[in-house]
Amino acid sequence: MKVLVAVKRVVDYNVKVRVKSDNTGVDIANVKMSMNPFDEIAVEEAVRLKEKGVVTEIIAVSCGVTQCQETLRTAMAIGADRAILVETSEELQPLAVAKLLKALVDKEQPGLVILGKQAIDDDCNQTGQMLAALADLPQATFASKIEVVDGKASVTREVDGGLETIAVSLPAVVTTDLRLNEPRYVTLPNIMKAKKKQLDVFKPEDLGVDVSPRIKTLKVSEPPKRSAGIKVPDVATLVAKLKTEAKVI
Amino acid sequence: MTILVIAEHDNASVKGATLNTVTAALACGGDVHILIAGANAAAAAAAAAQIAGVSKVLHADAPGFEHGLAENVAAQVLAVASGYSHLVFPATASGKNIAPRVAAKLDVAQISDVTKVLSADTFERPIYAGNAIATVQSLDATKVLTVRTTGFDPAAATGGSATVEVLAAAADAGKSTFVGSEIAKNDRPELTAAKIIVSGGRALGSAEKFNEVMIPLADKLGAALGASRAAVDAGYAPNDWQVGQTGKIVAPQLYIAAGISGAIQHLAGMKDSKVIVAINKDGEAPIFSVADYGLEADLFVAVPELVAAL
């Protein structure tokens, strides 16, 4: 079974982003970029399925600017066999990415598509579900455990209040939650090997997909600042403040 | 203009998140209808009809809706979608699961985690873990939204008198089945609806210590228990207690963070709380930058003292 894994290049999760002074967006020039953490978990899961003998080939896919090649090389260093970049400098929204991935699903016919549950830049949490809808596949979102048996995937999902397990027929789309696995570190020999692996580049036009944005960003602003608080010397003062000043208890 | 709210319910009653979603829907302007897709969910439909501001309840009943499987519920929403300008879901695990599926089938974009409705097509939403607020305008004919429930007050659960219309249920997609669930037993207030939350972090050291130190405080305050990702990953607290970008987003009256350093991913989940109290022995911890009241102390001493003082 082939697996398609979608990875996104995002601002590294440790970076505290700044809103541009003209309110057109956040300043991401000269900021460290990395693979979206949920996508690392997706690649790791695909590699583990391959190690178990369930999966035969892992294809990593990314959509965006030329530099996304670095993200794909990282995916191949973790263990993906080859990679596809859909290159465009347009702003890509989840619907556009889902359409690009749908075109690649049609082309590659994977048995399973794994994505992260959300990207930490736009915080949308949409692409996996949208891909499942467009490709008319079942979906298993927010997965914390995946088992593939007899043409079905049994997936434990993190839902409000606890966990739920569903079974989906394959092919299916799965999105990863944090607790699915702990991604491995990439080793230097694997980084070197990844440089030799195949990386194909397409344009959205090659796939016949219109990627024009459907949502217009009018403004990006700083969140309202909290007014500075105070430090209290002891528990008694804290309780007094909460009772008389804040009146919350 | 008519707006459809897709209710979150347990077949017997309507969940709290639905009420906040109704408020957001009313802010878009226009008539508000509610869809209850469930199994033997007449009680939930009757409850939805009582919600103030709702003019009609659509009730579709079939076994395939019992556990809210995305494929089946999305098909039901799509069956009625053509009559609506807005399809509004709560941004809960269930809403997030279904809304994008509906949007893609309609070939429209979806707007996630709306925190403010500026007009019928313009909304505010947080991005980058809440470090920026984007004002976005939908260019599509149908607006598909998920609503951050902490951004809107709940609509009154009673006082409405909507008519209930029974719909023919959409066919089961047959691609997924519900196997089982493990819902954590919790007799405390629900995390996202609680007025007071006490939350513990990695500094608690073990599940035993977590329970020993945090539960008396929660009991004393009638509070819900929360946790940082570090505490959840270390197994001190169950997954669904996690507050943060990838867990629950909460905005209680009082949030007490004990032994939580305050990583941006955690702050994204709680910085809209009215009053934040931080108890941490590291005076430099980032949590102090958002705390209204900070106590630099060992939580193993300070929390029991606090329990005694309340």
Which among A130, A162, A172 has CB closest to B103?
Answer: A130
* Residue B287 token pair: 């949590």
Buried b (16+ CB within 10 A) or exposed e, B45-76: bbbbbbbbbbbbbbbbbbebbbbbbbbbbbbb
Q: What percent of chain B has pLDDT over 70?
A: 100
- Res. B186: pLDDT tops 80: no
Residue A31 in contact with partner chain B when CB distance is under 8 A: no
Q: Is A141 on the interface with B (CB under 8 A)?
A: yes
Instruction: Please give, rounded to a whole number of angstroms, the shortest distance from the CA of A191 to a CA of chain B.
Output: 29
Q: Band of the pLDDT at B195, cuts 50, 70, 90?
A: very high
Residues of chain A where predicted confidence (pLDDT) is lower than 50: none
Closest to A165 in 3D by CA, of A186, A182, A140: A140
Cis amide prior to A110 (ω within 30 degrees): no
Q: Give the relative orientation of helices B207-221 and B299-309 as an angle to the nearest 10 degrees.
A: 20
Question: Distance from B98 to chain A by nearest Cα, in Å?
Answer: 7
Task: Tell me which chain B residue has its CA closest to the CA of residue A154.
Answer: B179
- CB nearest A215 (choices: B96, B137, B297): B137
Query: Using one digit for the tens of pLDDT, what is the confidence trace for B241-299?
Result: 999 998 999 999 999 999 999 999 999 999 999 999 999 999 999 999 999 999 999 99
Q: What are phi and psi of A133, to 5 degrees?
A: -65, -50
**Torsion on CA atoms A213, B2, B99, A15, rounded to nearest 10:** 50
- Give exposure, A181-197, as e/b (b: 16+ Cβ within 10 Å): bebeebeeeeeeebeeb
Q: Do A11 and B290 touch (CB under 8 A)?
A: no
Q: Rounded to 5, what percent of chain B is helix, strand, coil?
A: 35, 30, 35
Q: Any CB–CB contact under 8 A between A212 and chain B?
A: no
Residues contacting residue A54 through CB under 8 Å, at least 6 positions apart = A1, A148
* CA–CA distance, A166 with A193 (Å, rounded to integer): 37
Which of B92, B101, B178 lies at the smallest CB-CB distance from A166? B178
Rounded distance, CA A189 to CA B134, Å?
Answer: 42
CA atoms of A46 and A54, how far apart (whole Å): 9
Determine phi and psi for A74, rounding to 5 degrees.
-60, -45
| Distance (Å) from the alpha carbon of B285 to chain A's nearest alpha carbon | 12
Pairing of strands B176-183, A162-169: antiparallel
Give the sheet arrangement for strand B31-38, strand by strand.
B110-114, B143-147, B86-90, B2-6, B31-38, B56-61, B163-167
Answer yes or no: are the C-beta atoms of B229 and B266 closer than 8 Å: yes
Q: Is the pLDDT of residue B113 over 90?
A: yes
Q: Which residues of A touch B102 (CB under 8 A)?
A: 133
Across the range B88-96, mean pLDDT stands at 97
**Average pLDDT, integer, range B237-241:** 91
Residue B188 confidence (pLDDT): 87
Q: Does A127 touch chain B (CB under 8 A)?
A: yes
Whole-model pTM: value is 0.94
Quick one: tokens of B186?
């919790």
> B203: which 2 tokens?
């500094």
State how far residue B71 is from chain A, nearest Cα, in angstroms. 7
Alpha carbons within 13 A on the beta-carbon side of A120: 28
Of B133, B239, B293, the CB nearest to A223: B133
